[in-house]
Structure 1
Amino acid sequence: MAQSGTYHHGNLRAALVDAGLEMIRTGGPEALSLREVTRAVGVTPSAAYRHFASRQALLAAVAAAVQEHMAEAMLRHWPDGSDAEAARARLHAVGTGYIEFALAEPGWFAAFFPPEGATPDGGPSSAQPPRPFALLTQALDSMVEAGALGPGARGGAEWPCWSAVHGFAHLASTGPLQHRPDPELRALASATVTAIIDGVSSRP
């Protein structure tokens, strides 16, 4: 039975994911405990097992929610337009949104990738790409359509882009850049994203 002031509505799965998000926000994925999540929601562990067969399955669902939050951060800077400048700006929005999210939410960023082989429902792994990665490929495709990126340079371009921003995000959130002033970090982040876009765009 739910405790007073805790779980009272019908969507227990969403409530468990929300509680998991709060738990990892400050402690990272290592802080996630299925027992503590059920306690926070106000239900028994057996009730949670109807939705998540294991901690790994819950962590995969939490990771999927983190990916959605990151996609929203990217879309906040997502411009309209079909010309080359707008297409380039979309790719820049993907990169800066990724880094800004990592800096603002390091606990969530640490849980961006679900455990290997784990899925939210405990079933076989899905081939569905994370939404931020889908936005990256969409931005690159729009650059080709706008003439800002040659068709021959498009193949595999998502990997150097993702590698550059992911590496910078780690350096800035948990590595040697983490204590730099915020304005300096943002300037470095923008320069990194611009450099990788220039590099990809110049590929033959």
Structure 2
Amino acid sequence: MAKQGYHHGNLRQALVEAALGLIEAQGPQGFTLSEAAKSAGVTPAAVYRHFAGRDDLIAECALQGFRIFGDLMNHAWNDGRPSALLAFEATGRAYLAFARRFPGHYMAMFESGLSPSVTPDLAAAAARAQGVLTRAAAALCDHLPEGRRPPASMISAHVWAMSHGVVELFARGAPGARGPYPPEDLLEAGIGIYLRGLGLIPADTAPDPSAGTAPDTAPADPAA
């Protein structure tokens, strides 16, 4: 439906919002500038006063998305409080929450085929968001001897890839609709297995098969 009555000065944002709706419904490459203009209630010629083309419009959607995403990730990290491990896990939950709450932004950021380096502002916003996860990974590694510390950038890249996979496979639509477990549980378990494999958190106590349930204990957080 075309948006009516936008005020002078916010046409650029009206076009962004129109594009976000079209991206969510049809994919980043599934709409035209003419459709975006129609959805915003303006002529196609008006779009070119603000954007050089469709990729430029999508890049603006991605830029705004990365800025929101970076704020959410930074809030979730909370300077590593109450512990580095719990804060790290919170960033994973924030990733899933962002993908659900802002699907158009998410698709523009990660599914449009545009490189973050397409503009300096977009590159900076993407680097800021990635930097939160890298700092979180570095904090988890602090308790390890320097020679045994995995590169924080590698850990953050692995966890980012795991988070994206959970979003793509299990978090589209209703939570858990396409998998046997809620996406949050899948991601938390995956991160736990990954961090234990790196020696960043201790292994769980092995369950007693005769007890029928796992022991009600949790490993200490060495990064607290």
Q: In which range does the TM-score fall when normalised by the shorter chain?
A: 0.7 to 0.9
Alpha-carbon distance change, 142 to 40 in structure 1, aligned in 2, over 3 angstroms: same
Q: Could you state the TM-score of these two structures normalised by the residue count of structure 1?
A: 0.72
Does residue 135 of the first structure (1) align with residue 159 of the second (2)? no
Alpha-carbon distance change, 195 to 42 in structure 1, aligned in 2, over 3 angstroms: same
Partner of 1:188: 186
Tell me if structure 2 keeps the 8 A contact 1:59–1:115: no
Instruction: Give CA-to-partner distance per residue, 1:35-93, whole Å, 9 cap, x none.
Output: 122222222222211221111111111122233343344355333556xx522223212
Q: Matched residues in 1 for 2:117 and 2:49: separation?
A: 15
Alpha-carbon distance change, 118 to 166 in structure 1, aligned in 2, over 3 angstroms: closer
Partner of 1:112: 109
Partner of 2:35: 36
Tell me which stretches of 4 or more aligned residues in structure 1 moved more than 4 Å: 103-108, 117-120, 123-127, 148-151
Q: Matched residues in 1 for 2:115 and 2:98: separation?
A: 25
Q: Could you state the TM-score of these two structures normalised by the residue count of structure 2?
A: 0.67
Q: Matched residues in 1 for 2:32 and 2:166: separation?
A: 29
Alpha-carbon distance change, 4 to 105 in structure 1, aligned in 2, over 3 angstroms: closer
Q: Matched residues in 2 for 1:10 and 1:186: separation?
A: 40
Q: Which runs of 5+ in 1 are unaligned?
A: none
Q: Matched residues in 1 for 2:86 and 2:106: separation?
A: 23
Q: Amino acid of the residue matched to residue 165 of structure 1?
A: S
Q: Matched residues in 1 for 2:117 and 2:31: separation?
A: 16
Q: Amino acid of the residue matched to residue 197 of structure 1?
A: L
Q: Amino acid of the residue matched to residue 137 of structure 1?
A: T
Q: Which runs of 5+ in 2 are unaligned?
A: 202-224
Does residue 23 of the first structure (1) align with residue 22 of the second (2)? yes
Alpha-carbon distance change, 4 to 109 in structure 1, aligned in 2, over 3 angstroms: closer
Q: Amino acid of the residue matched to residue 86 of structure 2?
A: A
Q: Matched residues in 2 for 1:134 and 1:12: separation?
A: 32
Displacement, 1:14?
2.0
Q: Matched residues in 2 for 1:184 and 1:126: separation?
A: 32
Alpha-carbon distance change, 117 to 99 in structure 1, aligned in 2, over 3 angstroms: closer
Q: Matched residues in 1 for 2:199 and 2:72: separation?
A: 24
Structure whose CA Rg is larger: 2
Partner of 2:9: 10
Partner of 2:87: 90
Q: CA RMSD in A?
A: 3.5
Q: Amino acid of the residue matched to residue 162 of structure 1?
A: W
Alpha-carbon distance change, 134 to 12 in structure 1, aligned in 2, over 3 angstroms: farther
The percentage of aligned residue pairs carrying the same residue is 31
Alpha-carbon distance change, 40 to 141 in structure 1, aligned in 2, over 3 angstroms: same
